Amino acid sequence: MGTMRGQAGFSLIKLLFWLAVLAAGVWTGDKVIPVYNTYWNVQDAFKGISRDMASNSAQEIRERLPDILHVKYIAPSDLPAAFYKNLDIQADGSHVAISSHYHVTVWLLGPVAGGNGAPLSGMDRLRDRARLDFDFHPHAATP
């Protein structure tokens, strides 16, 4: 009968640990990538506006913006109200500068139920710590 030598390889615990790490990365990516994709599409739309609509007035650009965003696969619900509130379009007939800024909070474990400044308790504390806050400032100008 032979003696048992040290065995190498993954144990079940190691496998489960790395699966949990991988799952957490996929979960986070699933929540964050759409937010960044929307920002990149808005930035691309702003560059196209500054390049192709330099002769248009600010009002004409503002009226066409929903259609331009729709072409970039951006639904109105993808952008917060602050995007439209902070939208700044300056056009002088030959140059266009367009910008906005907005904030997005990604709740990885769901939004907190509390609010109103009350102290958080229980699961809401964990949810609050597991949130990601992003500030976006898309802008473009005609060179």
Model confidence pLDDT, tens digit, residues 61-88: 999 999 999 999 999 999 999 999 999 9
Residue 58 is encoded by which pair of tokens?
């600010």
- pLDDT at residue 125 is higher than 70: yes
| pLDDT at res. 8 | 66
CA pair distance 65, 45, nearest whole angstrom: 9
The identity of residue 100, as a single letter, is: S
Band of the pLDDT at 6, cuts 50, 70, 90?
A: low
CA pair distance 98, 2, nearest whole angstrom: 77
Question: What 3-state DSSP class applies to 114?
Answer: coil
Band of the pLDDT at 1, cuts 50, 70, 90?
A: low
| pLDDT at res. 116 | 66
Element holding 124 (H helix, E strand): helix 123-129
